[in-house]
Structure 1
Amino acid sequence: GVFMRCYNLDGCAEHDAEDARRVAEKLKIPFYVWNFENEYKKKVVEYMVKGYKKGITPNPDVMCNREIKFGLFLEKALRMGADYVATGHYVRLSPEFPISNYQFSNNYKKCLKNFKIENLLKIKNYKLKIAKDLNKDQSYFLWTLTQKQLKHCLFPIGDYLKSEVRKIAKKAGLSTAEKKDSQGICFLGKVNLDDFLKKYIPEKRGDVFDIIGKKIGEHKGAHFYTIGQRHGLGISGSKKPYYVVEKNVKKNTIVVAEGDDNSALYKKEIKLTDVNFINQNIINSQILENIGINVLTRVRYRQPLISAQLIIHNSKFIIQFDQPVKYVAPGQSAVFYLPAIASA
C-alpha cells in the first residue's frame, strides 16, 4: 500500500497517513509513503491561484488527478515494477474487446484460422463509466485520463455503494470503516477558500451592478467570487437573494441577478477548451460534419446529467443543452458521457 503525501494546510494528512498505515498492517502488506508536496504545490496550488487571478473558477481536484495521482504517482509506481495502481475512486472501468475479425490487426487476422476467436481476444480500449453509487460517483473529476493511464488502473469499489464498502471494511476489521468522508478542496481541509486566496490576491473594493447596469453595492474583490454565488455579496433590501452572473477582474466589477429563476443565470450552450476524449472512437463523422452526437453532460460535481448535443463549429467544440443550464462558471469542467456509458 502507498500513501501519497501532498501539500496540506490543516495537518489532516498526518492522520490520514497513520490510518493508511494501520490498514496496511491489518492486511499484512508493505506500506510506503511517497512525498509529492513540492510537485503538488507547483502543479495544483499554483494552477488554482493563477485561475482565480485570471477570473475563472479552476478545478484543483481535476488537476490533482491529472498531474499527481495519475501522473507522477502512476509513473513512479510503474517504474518500481507495478502492473496496476488501485485507487479508491468511485468510478467503473470497462474493457472493450474486439467483436469481429475486422477489429483485429492484420497479424491477428492471420491467426484466426487456427485458433478459436475467444483465445485471440485483445483489449481494444477502456471505457470510464459512472459508479454504481450515483451520489459518490467521481467520474466528473477523471475526465483528463487517457487510455495509456487507464490500462494500468483498477477501481475496485466502483461497483459498490458507499454503505457496502463500509460493511466490507468493517467485516475485514479495518479501522477506517467508519471514517468520515472528506469534504471540499482536498488540500485546504478546513481552511476557508477566501482566507487562503487572500494570501496571494489582495482585497480590492469594487462595484456591484444589477443586470440593467445600476450600482447596488460594493464587493471585496472580483477574484473572490464565482458564477452562481449568492453568499458574501452584502446586498440588502430585496426579498429575493442575488446571484453572481458575471464578473470582470480587470475592471474589478461583478454583475448580479435577483432570484434563482432569473434568466441571466442560464446558458443554452457553452464553448469548450482543453477537450479530452477518453475513448477516441466517438470522434466520428457526426461530430466532424457538424451533425453532432447526443451526450449527457454535467457542469458541476453531482449535478444531474443533462441531455445535450456535442458539435464542432468554427473549429471549436460546443455543447448545446436541450434545456438551459444554471450556474455555468468559466474554468470549471463540463464532462460529457455517451448515454450508453452513463446508464450501463
Structure 2
Amino acid sequence: MAQKQRVVVGLSGGVDSAVSAWLLKQQGYEVIGIFMKNWEDDDDSEYCSSRQDFLDAASVADVIGIDMEHVNFAAEYKDRVFAEFLREYQAGRTPNPDILCNAEIKFKAFLDHAMRLGADKIATGHYCRVRLNGTTGQYELLKGLDPLKDQSYFLHRLNQNQLRNTLFPVGELPKTEVRRIAAEIGLPNAKKKDSTGICFIGERPFREFLNRYIQKEPGPIRDDQGRVVGQHVGLSFYTLGQRQGLGIGGVKTQGAQKGGGEHAPWFVARKDVAHNTLWVVQGHDHPWLQSPQLQALDASWVAGSAPALGRYGAKTRYRQADAACVLAPNGEGAFALAFNEPQWAVTPGQSAVLYDGEVCLGGGVIHAATATEAPLPEVPTLAPRGKKVRRR
C-alpha cells in the first residue's frame, strides 16, 4: 500500500484553514496542523490576542482528528516584515505587510519548517488556485473562484518553488460553501467572524499603534491652491485617498474646487516628505486623485521573468476590479503601467498586481504615480526634517 502524502496545514483558528484541513483529510492525505504565532508585543491585549485563535485551531484539530503543533515565528516576522513596515511608513509610503508576510513567513519560514517535518506539501486557507501549465511546464497562480474572496493579490510574490509545494483547498469553493461544510461537520469556529486588519495591529486604531514606533512630526495641510487649511500630526499617519481623520471637515475655501464644490469632502491627495506637507483636495473626482500611469519597483514575477510587453489587467489595491492597462518594462526589477482609464488614489508603497485573465502574473511595489494634473502650487520652502523611530 502506497504511503499517504503528508500535508502540513497552516491553521489560523479561522474557518477557511479549518475546512482546508478537513478537505485534505477527506482526500486521503496525512494532515498535520501548524499554528503560527507571528507577533508577541501586546499579545495579551484586547486588540491582538492570538490565544483565542490558538484555542480555536486546537479545537478544530481535535474535531478533525489531526495533530497540531504551535510554532513561534515572531522573531522572523519582526526582522523580515515589521522592520520593513516601519521603514516604509517613515518614508511617507503606505506598505502592505500582509503581502510581505505571505512571501517571507507563510510561504518561506513556514514552508521550510514543514519540509523539516517531512511534508510533501503545505496548505493554507487562501482563496486562490495553483495550476501546472502543460505547455510551459510552469506553475500558475490563479484567482479564487469566489470573486468576492479572491486573495491572489496578496500572494502575487510567490515563486515557482513555493507554488509547486502548496495546495489551496478552498480556492475552488465559494465562501458560502465553506461555511456550510464547517457547520455540517460541526467545526467549533463555523460561524467565526473573518479576521480583518493587520495581525499585529488587530482592531485597535491604526494611528494609536503607529504612534508607539514613529515620532509625530506635525506640519501644514494645504489645499490645491497652496492655502493652509489645517495641521497634520505626521505624514506617516495618513494615506492617499483618506477621507476620515483629517480634522478639516468644517473648513471651507473660497471659489470652486476642481472635482468638487465648496462643501465637497476633503481627501488626502499627496504627501510631500521633503517639506513635511500634506496636500488635500475637495471632491472624490479631483484630478490630483486620478492617475493614468504608474511606476513600480521591486518586481516579482510568478514565472521567474517579466511578462512580455502588452495589454493586461491590473489591481492597485485589493478588492479592485482589474483595470485594463499596458505593461512596459522599465529597467531591472521595475515596470510601468499605462491605464486605459485613470485610477483613483494610486498609493506609493502599495502593490500593483498584473493579471492575464484569471492568471496572476506577479507585480511590484508602487513607487510613483502620475496624476492627471501634476504641478503643485508655489509654497514657502521649508527645511527638510528627518523622522525618528522610537524603539520600545
Contact 1:91 1:137 in 2 (8 A): yes
CA, structure 1 residues 179+90, in 2 after alignment: closer, same or farther (shift >3 Å)? same
Does 2:323 align with 1:306?
A: yes
Is 1:152 the counterpart of 2:165? The answer is yes
Q: Residues 1-344 of structure 1 correspond to what in structure 2 (within 5 A)?
A: 1-7=33-39, 9=42, 10-98=47-135, 124-235=137-248, 236-238=250-252, 239-280=263-304, 283=307, 287=308, 292-313=309-330, 316-339=334-357, 341=359
CA distance in structure 1 between the partners assigned to 2:314 and 2:168 by the alignment: 22
Cα 1:263–1:89 shift into 2, 3 Å:
same
Aligned residue pairs: how many?
311
Q: Is the 8 A contact 1:294 1:339 kept in 2?
A: no
Deviation at 1:304, TM superposition (A): 1.3
Identical counterparts, % of pairs: 40
Instruction: State how far apart, in whole Å, the 2-side matches of 1:7 and 1:313 are.
Output: 37
Residue 245 of structure 1: CA displacement?
Answer: 1.0
Distance 2:240 2:319 in 1: 17
> How far is the alpha carbon of 1:281 from its aligned partner?
6.9
Code of the residue aligned with 2:348 in structure 1: it is P
Q: What's the offset of the Cα at 1:240?
A: 0.7
Residue in structure 2 matched with residue 117 of structure 1 by the alignment: none
Q: CA RMSD in A?
A: 1.6
Encode CA deviations 1:82-123: one digit per residue, 9 max, x unaligned.
01001000111111114xxxx6xxxxxxxxxxxxxxxxxxxx
Say which SS state the counterpart of residue 12 (structure 1) adopts.
coil
Q: Write the deviation string for residues 111-159 of structure 1: whole angstroms up to 9, x where unpaired.
A: xxxxxxxxxxxxx111111111111111110111000111000000001
| Whole-angstrom distance in 1 between the partners of 2:306 and 2:238 | 36
Task: Tell me, yes or no, if the aligned pair for 1:296 and 1:337 is still in contact at 8 Å.
Answer: yes
Alpha-carbon shift at residue 230 of structure 1 (Å):
1.2
Distance 1:303 1:133 in 2: 14
Query: Which amino acid in 2 is paired with 1:271?
Result: Q
Alignment deviations for residues 277-296 of structure 1 (CA, whole Å, 9 cap, x no partner): 1024763xxx3xxxx21111
| C-alpha separation in 1, matches of 2:83 and 2:270 | 24
Any idea what SS the aligned residue of 1:199 has?
A: coil
Shift of 1:186: 2.1
Give 1:271 deviation, angstroms. 0.5
Over 3 Å counting, the alpha-carbon distance change for 1:47 and 1:79 in structure 2 is same
The residue identity in structure 2 corresponding to 1:5 is K
Where does structure 1 lack aligned partners over 5 or more consecutive residues? 104-123
Q: In 2, Cα distance between the equivalents of 1:294 and 1:249?
A: 34
Report the CA distance shift for 1:3/1:230 in structure 2 as closer, same or farther (over 3 A).
same
Judged with a 3 Å threshold, the aligned counterparts in structure 2 of structure 1 residues 254 and 69 are, in CA distance, closer, same or farther, namely same
Shift of 1:199: 0.8
User: What displacement does 1:204 show?
Assistant: 2.4
Q: How many angstroms apart in 2 are the aligned matches of 1:137 and 1:51? A: 26
Q: Secondary structure at the match of 1:22?
A: helix
Gaps of 5+ in 2: 1-32, 253-262, 361-392
Counterparts in 2 of 1:340 and 1:200: CA distance versus 1, 3 Å: closer
Q: Tell me the alpha carbon deviations over residues 192-212 of structure 1, each in whole angstroms, 9 at most, x when there is no partner.
A: 211111111122221011122
- Equivalent residue letter for 1:341: V
| Counterpart contact for 1:5–1:37, Cα < 8 Å | yes
- Partner amino acid for 1:336? L
Specify the code of the residue in structure 1 equivalent to 2:251: G
Report the alpha carbon displacement of residue 237 of structure 1 after superposing the two structures with TM. 2.9
Q: Distance in 2 between matches of 1:11 and 1:260?
A: 33
Alpha-carbon contact 1:223-1:249 (below 8 Å) kept: no
TM norm structure 1: 0.87
TM-score normalised by the chain length of structure 2: 0.76
Residues 5 and 166 (structure 1 numbering): CA distance in 2 closer, same or farther, change over 3 Å?
Answer: same
1:293 and 1:78 map into 2 onto residues whose CA distance is 38
Secondary structure at 1:237 match in 2: coil
SS at match of 1:140: helix
